[in-house]
Amino acid sequence: MNRDKYLNAVKSSLEQNIFYHSLALEACMGGIYDYLSKNNLLKNDKLSKKDWTLAGLIHDIDYVGEFKEFHPNKTKEALAKSNLEIPDEIDKIVKAHAPSLTGIKTESLAQWAIFCADSLTGLIVAVALIYPSKKLAEVKVNSVLKRFLKEPRFAAGTRRDEVKMCELPEGLNIPLEKFIEICLTSMQLIAPDIGL
């Protein structure tokens, strides 16, 4: 699977802010995979890092036009417009970021990762935007954590209950602070690509 082709499809289909969010989630998925891999926590997960990151990159591709109301159940159809396909395993990861819309149960580690990280990216971006420089490089784990825990109205669209499920033993089993650190660090590595 050639990332560039999927990247171009996402870029040409989505508005810039959702495109940037897609890149951010792609980076987070890669970072979470690397953390689990380094710590021998991938269990029997058979999916590759490329599967994880591709799911992050394309997870909102049907959030536009005639498919929008069916999001994220029309990923394959939206990709078909660019003559692209994905295997069912990746489609299942994508669907897991919104179980209430797809009926897909969150089971695999990749599914937990996309489910928990999806709305955290927005909070991290919002913290960066507080700084005059608007640079992700300035953001510290603690300032994200504080706003996450103590300022529920800050970046209110963040589904804090879902992000916090990163701690569930049957899922990722990663402490919230570590999870924030992984996602923040991953996004900092691609900051110029997402305008931060």
Site for Fe ion, rule CB under 5 A:
60, 118
| 3-class state of residue 13 by DSSP | helix
Q: Would you say 51 or 60 has its CB closer to Fe ion? A: 60
Token pair 């994880």 in the structure block, residue: 52
Q: Would you say 24 or 176 has its CB closer to Fe ion? A: 24
Residue 126: Cβ-neighbour burial (10 angstroms; 0-12, 13-18, 19+): middle
Cβ 116 to Fe ion shortest distance, Å = 12
Cβ 189 to Fe ion shortest distance, Å = 19
Q: Would you say 41 or 101 has its CB closer to Fe ion? A: 101
Cβ 93 to Fe ion shortest distance, Å = 12
Show the tokens assigned to 45: 């997960």
Long-range pairs for 46-50 at CB < 8 Å and ≥24 separation?
Answer: 47/89, 47/93, 47/108, 47/110, 50/1, 50/3
Residue type, 155: A
Q: Would you say 17 or 48 has its CB closer to Fe ion? A: 17
Cβ 24 to Fe ion shortest distance, Å = 9
Cβ 85 to Fe ion shortest distance, Å = 21
Give the residue closest to Fe ion by C-beta.
118
Cβ 99 to Fe ion shortest distance, Å = 13
Q: Would you say 132 or 157 has its CB closer to Fe ion? A: 157
Token pair 């969010």 in the structure block, residue: 21
Q: Would you say 46 or 68 has its CB closer to Fe ion? A: 68
Can you tell me the distance from the alpha carbon of 188 to that of 165, in angstroms, rounded to the nearest whole number? Answer: 23
User: Which DSSP letter does residue 158 get?
Assistant: S
Can you tell me the distance from the alpha carbon of 47 to that of 88, in angstroms, rounded to the nearest whole number? Answer: 12
Can you tell me the distance from the alpha carbon of 17 to that of 23, in angstroms, rounded to the nearest whole number? Answer: 10
**Cβ atoms within 10 Å of 195's Cβ, excluding its own:** 13
